[in-house]
Chains A and B, each alone.
Chain A
């Protein structure tokens, strides 16, 4: 079955540590996205990539970094510079760059900073 996988499902981090969240898709989609979800705030865009080897900052990119070396993979690193990283992180992909494209979401990773 085609889809988006995110791992791990739950992640615990000590303050001052960097962690990397995995996102893989086998839908052959060009575009991929990372969102952060906090209670009562909806989804906020962290980074997005429209094509391999290219990505752009979203609305809340500070303290995060990404790479897009392969079409199917878009890992997100939460750095120690992110002041409040505890949240639910969602990865999504869409077929292309068109605004009519549906975004397909992964199951999410819940990050907790101890």
Chain B
């Protein structure tokens, strides 16, 4: 069975500070990896995805993530956050040979002035 773990349910950080949101997964098959962002009372929007190739993936809004196969992790980073980055962030995996995403429980990022 596959699973996704986002250990941090909430992450407070001051504006212009760096942030890392952690994501670990477990899977017996190869997976594709995604990060989505959800602003209050809205749907999810894709930030970035890892399919193959370079393990460092750059996405929208200055976010990037690094795939680490040995540690089964896909942590999301941003060197300097803005107030507008306040949102909930979801890590998801798409196991090879299936037709559905498995989502983590989300990390609520709160950027403080």
| Residues in chain A within 8 A of chain B (CB atoms) | 4, 6, 31, 33, 40-45, 48, 50, 56, 58, 90, 92, 97, 99-100, 102-108, 110
B98 and A90 within 8 A (CB)? no
- Minimum C-beta distance from A69 to chain B (A): 20
B residues neighboring A (CB under 8 Å): 4, 9, 32, 34, 36, 41-46, 49, 51, 90, 94-101, 103-106
B53 to chain A, nearest CB (A): 12
Cβ-neighbour of B41 out of A42, A97, A103, A108 (below 8 A) = A108
Report which residue of B32, B41, B94, B100 has the largest number of chain A beta carbons within 10 angstroms of its beta carbon.
B100
Interface class of chain A by DSSP: strand
- Please indicate the chain B residues that have their CB under 8 angstroms from the CB of A99 in the complex: 32, 94-99
14 pairs of residues in contact across A and B, judged by CB atoms under 8 Å: A6-B43, A33-B100, A40-B105, A42-B90, A42-B103, A43-B101, A44-B103, A45-B101, A92-B44, A99-B97, A105-B44, A105-B45, A106-B43, A108-B43
